[in-house]
A and B are shown apart, each in its own frame.
Chain A
Amino acid sequence: MAMRKEDTIKLVSAEGFEFVIDRKAAVVSDTLKSMLNSTGSNIRDAELGEVKLPEISTPVLEKVCEFFYWSLQFSNGIETEFDIEPEMTSDLMRAANLLHT
């Protein structure tokens, strides 16, 4: 299923890994939302549809993307559990803080 360019966002981790997710999922994060909706639409990120997150490591970023999708599912009424590994917790918290999720 080919996704159109405008519907997806690319999140790039500290190590340079690229995660492609739906725009819908990305805007679960307020920060990402305002980045992408910035009125100064001449801000680069919005145009490219790509956000660099050098502060967030890859596994953490992966978990974050998972969380986005899980959150969408949850708000649609499907309640599942979201597993978090204990060691990842603090990093995850920091990422969440940054992204306002």
Chain B
Amino acid sequence: MSTSKKKAFRIEPFKHKVEIDPKYAERTWKVLDEAICEIYNHNASGLSFEELYRNAYNMVLHKYGDKLYMGLVDTLSRHLKNMASTIEAAQGGLFLEELNRNWLEHNKALQMIRDILMYMDRTYVPNYNKTPVHELGLNLWRDYVVRYPKIKARLLDTLLDLVYRERSGEVINRGLMRNITKMLMDLGIDVYQEDFEKPFLEAASGFYKLESQEFIECCDCGDYLKKAERRLNEEIERVSHYLDPKSETKITAVVEREMIASHMNRLVEMENSGLVHMLIDDRYEDLGRMYSLFKRVSGGLGLVRDVMTSHLRETGRQLVTDPEKLKDPVEFVQRLLDEKDKYDKIITTAFINDKTFQNALNSSFEYFINLNPRSPEFISLFVDDKLRKGLKGVSEEDVETVLDKVMMLFRYLQEKDVFEKYYKQHLAKRLLSSKSVSDDAERSLIVKLKTECGYQFTSKLEGMFTDMKTSKDTMQGFNAVVSNADSSESPTLSVQVLTTGYWPTQSGAVCNLPAEILAVCEKFKTYYLSTHTGRRLTWQTNMGTADLKATFGKGQKHELNVSTYNMCILMFFNNVNSMTYKEIEQATEIPALDLKRSLQSLACVKGKNVLRKEPMSKDISEDDVFVFNDKFTSKFYKVKIGTVAAQKETEPEKQETRQKVEEDRKPQIEAAIVRIMKSRRVLDHNNIVSEVTKQLQSRFLPNPAVIKKRIESLIEREFLERDKNDRKVYRYLA
């Protein structure tokens, strides 16, 4: 290429002008027209692609694109009309097949035509805003075949009929269905939806409405749910086989609505088989099914949850208020634990650990456990029983499991401070009589309580343990000292020194100890005070025990384990044979109630009557006479009399404890009020009440009336004052 040419570069017009006259266009078109016919008649092999392509190319190039396009539309329409009549003529079952066959052919032909006319598609079509060939072909098919009135209705009916038959259990040609629905989808999503999906959904709705009516009349809940589930799965499978995936949500919605949502209430409340019965009978499978089905429907799970909650609350309420059950606290608590286990299992197995159900369970338990004001006491008794004997020989992990379960019940309590009080009492008795089965278990429970409620809750309890240990050390020291001095006939003493603050307060009863006992007690006191100056020791005679060696009439020797009071009483019978009640009372100075109880345990208990009472009545009266029972016999050498085990409190004791609890609460409430007011300075009445409740709720639920009283007391003592303008507002006084 020379440079000069480059400078003078310009485009020259066509060297040869190709002039096409209309006749040529006509002829060219004819060629193409015939070719299309041949294609539709499966005679494409005789054609030359290149020739046809070139022809189409030329037509467009020479501005006969219009003619070409219109011609195409014409020809295609003609052929499609033919196809439509063929299809329409098909009989019965062959209708769909005929349709399918023609559709496939049409597609093949369309492909070829498009290839040939590619040039037109590329240039003419976009320039003149015409529909591209492929789309054109589809649209024409849609208009001349699918929407051809006779075919349209028949197509829809056939399809719906097939679906109905399949639902009724027949096997249908799924492949064919697939092709047809695919055809509809190819024609455009709106065609699929309008011409098929909508009527399909309506038909399904009607079908399931009927079916669900039928089922619900004759089936029980479990069966119905099984059937519903089956239908649901069927529909999903159907979609995967021959429907548009997008239809899945729509059809499942229909089934859910007709089979589940409309009958939700009826199912749940069905007699003998509804939700309540499933819960009672632990029907995990049915429950699981109900859960997964109802989950799909809005409000379904809410309904299930509500029914479960109300049933649980009712059952729980019955449990805690049934007087029969309340007779045995251990049994009572065990029943609660069993109930909790049952529902835990249900929620884990059938309700896939749904948190909302777990919460419902917790709130129900909290509700009915606190219905019975004695629940804290009973739970403590349950623990006491377990720690005394129930956990004997049980493996460590099992112990932990039981304690964890107890903790769980503990959390539901609103009056945790009541529990604390009882627990302290029971623990004291256990420790002092060394009746605890496992020290480790005791400590483990304390740790759990500490984690749950904080250090303050358990500090005193831990103090009790420390006291026991310290006492052991002290005793070792004392015994060493005593054995050096002469001991001979003095009784062996074992002392536990209790720090007053830690242990539950008992009325410090006094009684006259026998001389020998007194002597050795003084020795101990001296010893102790020598090492711990500035402390005061008081003998708690109502809590001790003694072992006595007794010889009876025929020479039988027995070792009697008795309470300290009993020991004092019995020692007198070393000197005399009989005493009256009054004499005993005077000599020992034991308080009347305790004395009566002690005498009862000595004289009125079968098999343990070391004393005989005259008259032989059950109750102790002031005129009774007590005689040493020579004829006492027992199978065992060691006889235990009247051990003080933790009992369910009698009415007066109960009142007393409750009163103590209320008294303890007052300062706590006051402390809370002062704390709050100090930081807030000014606050109105309702807010104070809610803040106080919030602060104290881990221990107990304060009564608003009590809070009010405390506020007034604080005002009197000038910690707070009322606002001058608004009587409901309080101000903190520094």
Instruction: Please report the total number of A residues contacting B with Cβ < 8 Å.
Output: 26
Residues B49 and A44 in contact, CB atoms below 8 Å apart: yes
Interchain nearest-CB distance for B568 vs A (Å)? 113
Cβ–Cβ < 8 Å partners of B112 in chain A? 38-40, 43
Does A52 sit at the interface, judged by CB under 8 A?
Answer: yes
Residues A53 and B50 in contact, CB atoms below 8 Å apart: yes
* Contact A38 B115, CB 8 Å, known A83-B1, A98-B57: yes
* Contact A100 B11, CB 8 Å, known A31-B53, A43-B44, A52-B50: no
Does B680 sit at the interface, judged by CB under 8 A?
Answer: no
Residues A89 and B118 in contact, CB atoms below 8 Å apart: no
* Contact A35 B11, CB 8 Å, known A42-B44, A43-B44, A44-B48: no
Does A73 sit at the interface, judged by CB under 8 A?
Answer: no
Cβ–Cβ < 8 Å partners of A28 in chain B? none
Residues A98 and B54 in contact, CB atoms below 8 Å apart: yes
Cβ–Cβ < 8 Å partners of B51 in chain A? 52
Q: Give the distance in Å from the alpha carbon of A38 to the alpha carbon of B13 in the complex.
A: 35
Residues B49 and A100 in contact, CB atoms below 8 Å apart: no
Interchain nearest-CB distance for A36 vs B (Å)? 9
- CB-CB contacts of B1-45 with A at 8 A, as 1s and 0s? 100011001011110000000000000000000000001000011
In the complex, what residue of chain A is closest to B14 when comparing beta carbons?
A90
Cβ–Cβ < 8 Å partners of A40 in chain B? 39, 44-45, 108, 111-112
Does A46 sit at the interface, judged by CB under 8 A?
Answer: yes
In the complex, what residue of chain B is closest to A98 when comparing beta carbons?
B57
Residues A52 and B115 in contact, CB atoms below 8 Å apart: no
Cβ–Cβ < 8 Å partners of A35 in chain B? 49-50, 53, 115
Cβ–Cβ < 8 Å partners of B1 in chain A? 83, 85-86
Cβ–Cβ < 8 Å partners of B119 in chain A? 31, 97-98, 100
Q: Give the distance in Å from the alpha carbon of A46 to the alpha carbon of B12 in the complex.
A: 36
In the complex, what residue of chain A is closest to B115 when comparing beta carbons?
A34
Cβ–Cβ < 8 Å partners of A18 in chain B? none
Does B342 sit at the interface, judged by CB under 8 A?
Answer: no
Q: Give the distance in Å from the alpha carbon of A55 to the alpha carbon of B16 in the complex.
A: 12
Residues B115 and A44 in contact, CB atoms below 8 Å apart: no
Q: Identify which of residues 42-56 in chain A touch chain B, using a CB-to-CB cut-off of 8 Å.
A: 42-46, 51-55
* Contact A45 B39, CB 8 Å, known A83-B1, A86-B6: no
Interchain nearest-CB distance for B285 vs A (Å)? 54
Contact of A31 among B5, B11, B111, B118 (CB under 8 A): B118
Cβ–Cβ < 8 Å partners of A38 in chain B? 49, 112, 115
Residues A45 and B48 in contact, CB atoms below 8 Å apart: yes
Cβ–Cβ < 8 Å partners of A83 in chain B? 1
Does A15 sit at the interface, judged by CB under 8 A?
Answer: no
Cβ–Cβ < 8 Å partners of A30 in chain B? 118
Interchain nearest-CB distance for A32 vs B (Å)? 9
Residues A45 and B5 in contact, CB atoms below 8 Å apart: no
Given contacts A54-B54, A98-B57, 6 further A-B contacts (CB under 8 A): A40-B39, A40-B108, A44-B47, A51-B50, A52-B51, A89-B11
- 9 pairs of A and B residues whose beta carbons are closest in the complex: A42-B45, A40-B44, A34-B115, A40-B112, A35-B49, A45-B49, A39-B111, A43-B49, A86-B9
28 CB-based A-B contacts, threshold 8 Å? A31-B53, A35-B50, A38-B115, A39-B111, A40-B112, A42-B45, A43-B44, A43-B45, A43-B49, A43-B112, A44-B45, A45-B48, A45-B49, A45-B50, A46-B49, A51-B49, A51-B50, A53-B50, A54-B54, A85-B1, A86-B6, A86-B9, A90-B12, A98-B54, A98-B57, A100-B118, A100-B119, A100-B122
